Amino acid sequence: MLVAENYGTISNCGVTGWLAVPQATVVGGLVGRNGGLIRSCYFDGLITANWTATELGPGGPPVVGGLVGANTGSIVCCYATGMAIGHRDVGGLVGDNRQSYEKSGSITDCYATTVVMAEFGGGGLAAGNVGVITRCYATGLVTGELRGGLVGLSGRSSGTVIGCLWDTFQTNCSTSSGGLGLSDAEMIWPKVYADNGWAGDPNWIIDDNWMHGGYHYPRLSWEGIEGTPVPEPVVPYRLTGSGTQEDPYQIATHDDLEWLTTASIFWDKHFVLVKDIPYGTARTIGISRGSAFSGTFDGNGHTIRSVYIDTDKSPAWNLGVFGYVTGQIRNLTVEDVRLASGPSTRCAGLLAGTCEGGLIENCHVSGSVTVGENSQYIGQLVGYVGYRGGKVVDCEANATIDAGEGSTDVGGLIGYQEPDTRRR
């Protein structure tokens, strides 16, 4: 509604209104295609494009975004609200965060409260991401198949996501191909943002004053609301250790594990299990590229029991006690793990969904994995092991796998181990 294609700079601009496009391949509320810089801008309104499959334009299925359709440039300190409607690949802020020959698209310090109505592949913030998304959140309702609370699950989502969150209740999404899903109560806790790398960022303001209605989602500082920056993170008082290799954090209770699942800035630290834990968590530790578990977790011969992770028949990526691992997990037993997800799930294993450049050693698991049709990379221990140094050593699994029709790369121990094709 402001610019069709931008390769320059757009700043301090806002658009409100309604844009209906019957046939187009890239549609955005502010900018259609961005290869430049957009800073401190917003869109508030309604976007509709190709609602039914029979109305597809000559360029094939379009991408639709509340602020920008397709991005290979930079979007900084922006937001979108209202509603975005399309057949597929609809994002609350950006339709597709793409990679060009020269650079990858980046989205930093942004949010979307947009209602996303798509039949296929919608995302609360972005439908697809092969670029970088940093310190963003999404809270708008998302509809359709293969939807994601932050990033859609239609397949074009191999990019990096750092310190991002989405509201599982407001979006009605239990999964995403990136970002940390939280309840609406958790989404208004300043400490959660602190534990995910937002502390001291001058671009964000949190109003935690009960006189003002108290504890809202963070807002961008240029919006002019009252409040304070996100506070510094604080390690739970009960947790001993300093997180170094010589003095690792000591995990002794279910609450310690629960804290770890929502504190991504600590996922590069060192941990040791000092007691058996009778029941685990309902969330993974480590999520995706950019928010991986890159530290060390030494089970120290102890056991975590009764871990139940159920996505309520939604597809999932990187599903396991540890979701995405680039660090080390050693000497750990996990018993009675139950993983359950819907069709088109990718990378699921009782201990780890993906091990990319990490080490899993002397670990033992038992339980079951249940995934829907057309799922891929499903293993009893690990779903997917990448060739970049990913190793599994001296491990065993005693589990069952129930994979739906059309599923591929289903293995007894590992779903798929990528061969190292580098020249030696």
pLDDT per 10-residue tile (average), the chain, 424 residues:
96 95 86 96 92 51 90 97 92 92 90 95 95 96 94 84 96 93 92 94 82 70 90 91 96 95 96 94 91 96 95 92 96 96 95 94 97 96 86 95 96 88 57
pLDDT, residue 265, reads 96
Q: How far apart are CA 88 and CA 166, in angstroms?
A: 20
Among 348, 285, 267, 277, which Cα is nearest to 322's? Answer: 285
pLDDT, residue 54, reads 43
On whether the CB atoms of residues 44 and 19 are closer than 8 A, the answer is no
pTM for the predicted model, two decimal places: 0.93
Q: How far apart are CA 200 and CA 300, in angstroms?
A: 36
pLDDT, residue 211, reads 44
pLDDT, residue 215, reads 54
The total number of residues written for the chain in this structure? 424
| Strand-strand pairing, 219-220 and 204-205 | antiparallel
**Element (DSSP H or E) covering residue 191:** helix 190-194
